[in-house]
Structure 1
Amino acid sequence: MRDALPPLSCLRAFEVAARYCSFTQAGNELNLSQSAISRQIKRLEHDLGRLLFERHHEGLRLTPTGEHYFRVVQRLLRDLGDETARLRRRGDDRQLILASSPTIASIWLARQLPDFQRAYPNIEIRILTVEDPHRLDLAEFDLGIYYHVPNEVDPPGLVADAIFEHERVAAVCSPIYLERHGNGIEPAHLLVNHTLMVVEDHYHDWLSWEIWFRELGLKWQPPLHTLRANSFQLLMNATLAGQGVTLGWMRLLDAELRQGNLVQALPLTIPSRGKLSLFTPQHRHLTEPMRAFRHWVLDTN
């Protein structure tokens, strides 16, 4: 007897392709080639005996059959994802899984959570640390907290809401480092006489020393002394330990600056292109813990 259900991989490819009306964008979200998406759609259309897309020179358009099937498939995949996430939590509806980078989780989120837990004592928090939000599995977490650059750093399947609307980027170091260098750092000497922390991570390439210098109208040249790593958290720990100067977000580092663990190496700042944002998976039913955290983090910061 013929199986009434088409392959799940075809349904996922169809749902994403229909959402974007683009095989290329669907491939980007699912980490597949455009041709692989096209093959899965053709396989699904063959299985159904119906065309789901009309192919025009200007792009794709859903057929009336495709429109109806898209609504059904999207609803079923959303329900399946919600139920899978619920079962993975072993039936605990009080649990909230927050995804974030190690730096944001340790420096900012960990300091904020006591206030949230006092307001919502029945919600259990689990933190999942992943440096790059593009590597997140949407079924493994409820909400994410990352820096977001609109139309440039847009992880697929997520909607971003700014937690901080305005933020500035400064060069920061430890008081020990500043004292060791005479309590004064000149911009012209920063690239020659100091160790600069450099993040080797494509997700953070929109925040670099070169961009910082050029936006301030300062002369740029590659720094003579650097400490490089693919982990911003490692470099931040090195900065706190007095090993050099790093670029940092003023509001993210507010507690470290107020407590004197970090100081501005020099008074110059630039507006941050990225905003600390709350990432919510698209097409997911919001649980009560998700609603509570969204309300708390977006309305109190």
Structure 2
Amino acid sequence: MSRRHYDLPPLTTLSAFETAARHLSFKNAAQELSVTPGAVSHQIKALEGELGVALFQRKHRGVELTREGQELFETLVTSFRQISRQLLKTRQNGEEDAVTVGSTTAVAALWLSPVTIRFWREYPDLNIHQITQDRPFHDTGQFDFFIRYGRDADTTLAHTSIYRDQLVPVARPDIADDLGKASLQELAAQRLIHLQSASQSWTTWADWFHELGYKGDISVGTRVTSYSLALQIARKGAGVALGWKRLIQPMLDSNKLAIVEGHSVPAPREFYLVGLPEDELSPNAQTLKNWILSEAKDSSV
């Protein structure tokens, strides 16, 4: 369609603006778009010139959206998301009934996949696509919702609380038994398995010890970039991992891991179902969402 028919600015300017508004950073937008920050700035200035309003307030350490910028951003997010989802359906040969849900590999293996299997048994004709990755989800067009520890920075996404977990040290059962009720100082001296996640929301060993009031040194231990790998290393007896108790309950029940008793901290963040606003969810996606929330409530510990 011609631009004249819809009276739209060039889509390149709208895309640059949406990306910069989502990141609140021209630099990060440039990285996502594979262009220079100067190119992003040029596109946004062109858009502001055509609209005759300022969309950003330039500040010393970044940018903020103006009222007009926020209103335009919210409209573009909804529109781009709908376009992206329609294109996805077209690529999937019109598979309109499918629901896509994302999570980390650990959340998928330990909690979401069993929940989804039970859902399939109840709704065998409803197709579910699971996307697993251990980095933050950014392409909102590819899913209906995803499970996240802590709130997402994208304020246009709906956040529904699933549960708040307890953080406990876990190890191979014999190691956990030997440690008994170790003091914080003794625990800090163990080979700790540190998770270095691309998402900054995950609680670290340093956070955990700080919450308990311990201010001493913490073992450097082993560093991994996947929580699934952290649990497997602990299971093999190569260290002590920080366990999200409810999430890893299957491994506790099967005696693959055991809690080092004596110290527990409520997780500072909740697990959320993050994704499309309610009025953008398909009936099938709403059915799956309700199922996930019901399962979380029924399995509370």
* TM-score using structure 2 length: 0.79
Contact kept? 1:94, 1:122, Cα under 8 Å:
no
Residue 299 of structure 2 aligns with which residue?
none
Aligned partner of 2:172 among 171, 174, 179: 174
Distance in 2 between residues matched to 1:173 and 1:15, nearest whole Å: 45
- TM-superposition CA deviations, 1:145-201 (whole Å, max 9, x none): 1211x4xx525753322110x32110111213335x365544332222x22101123
Query: CA offset at residue 221 of structure 1?
Result: 0.3
Residue 190 of structure 1 aligns with which residue?
187
Contact kept? 1:78, 1:284, Cα under 8 Å:
no
> Superposed, which structure 2 residues align to 1:121-200 within 5 Å?
121-134=124-137, 136-148=138-150, 150=151, 154-155=153-154, 158-164=157-163, 166-179=164-177, 181=178, 185-192=182-189, 194-200=190-196
- TM-superposition CA deviations, 1:121-149 (whole Å, max 9, x none): 21122211111224x3222222111211x
Contact kept? 1:24, 1:34, Cα under 8 Å:
no
The SS at the match of 2:246 is coil
Gaps of 5+ in 1: none
Distance in 1 between residues matched to 2:117 and 2:199, nearest whole Å: 29
Distance in 2 between residues matched to 1:57 and 1:261, nearest whole Å: 53
Aligned partner of 2:95 among 83, 87, 92: 92
Query: CA offset at residue 72 of structure 1?
Result: 7.0
- TM-superposition CA deviations, 1:240-278 (whole Å, max 9, x none): 222221111111112222332221112211110121111
Structure-2 change in CA distance of 1:228 and 1:108 (3 Å): same
- 1:250 has 2:245 as partner: yes
Structure-2 change in CA distance of 1:25 and 1:92 (3 Å): same
Aligned partner of 1:297 among 285, 292, 298: 292
Contact kept? 1:173, 1:265, Cα under 8 Å:
yes
Distance in 2 between residues matched to 1:54 and 1:254, nearest whole Å: 48
> Superposed, which structure 2 residues align to 1:25-36 within 5 Å?
31=32, 36=39
What letter matches 1:190 in structure 2?
A: L
Contact kept? 1:98, 1:127, Cα under 8 Å:
yes
Aligned partner of 1:220 among 211, 216, 222: 216
Distance in 2 between residues matched to 1:204 and 1:72, nearest whole Å: 28
Distance in 1 between residues matched to 2:188 and 2:133, nearest whole Å: 31
The SS at the match of 1:104 is helix
Distance in 1 between residues matched to 2:108 and 2:114, nearest whole Å: 9
Structure-2 change in CA distance of 1:197 and 1:155 (3 Å): farther
Contact kept? 1:52, 1:62, Cα under 8 Å:
no
What letter matches 1:299 in structure 2?
A: S
Residue 51 of structure 1 aligns with which residue?
52
Structure-2 change in CA distance of 1:27 and 1:78 (3 Å): farther
Q: Which deviates more, 137-146 or 73-82? A: 73-82
Contact kept? 1:97, 1:127, Cα under 8 Å:
yes
Distance in 2 between residues matched to 1:28 and 1:89, nearest whole Å: 31
Distance in 1 between residues matched to 2:209 and 2:57, nearest whole Å: 47
The SS at the match of 2:272 is strand
Gaps of 5+ in 2: 297-301
Percent same amino acid among aligned pairs? 25
Structure-2 change in CA distance of 1:82 and 1:182 (3 Å): closer
Structure-2 change in CA distance of 1:8 and 1:234 (3 Å): same
Contact kept? 1:29, 1:157, Cα under 8 Å:
no
Residue 117 of structure 1 aligns with which residue?
120
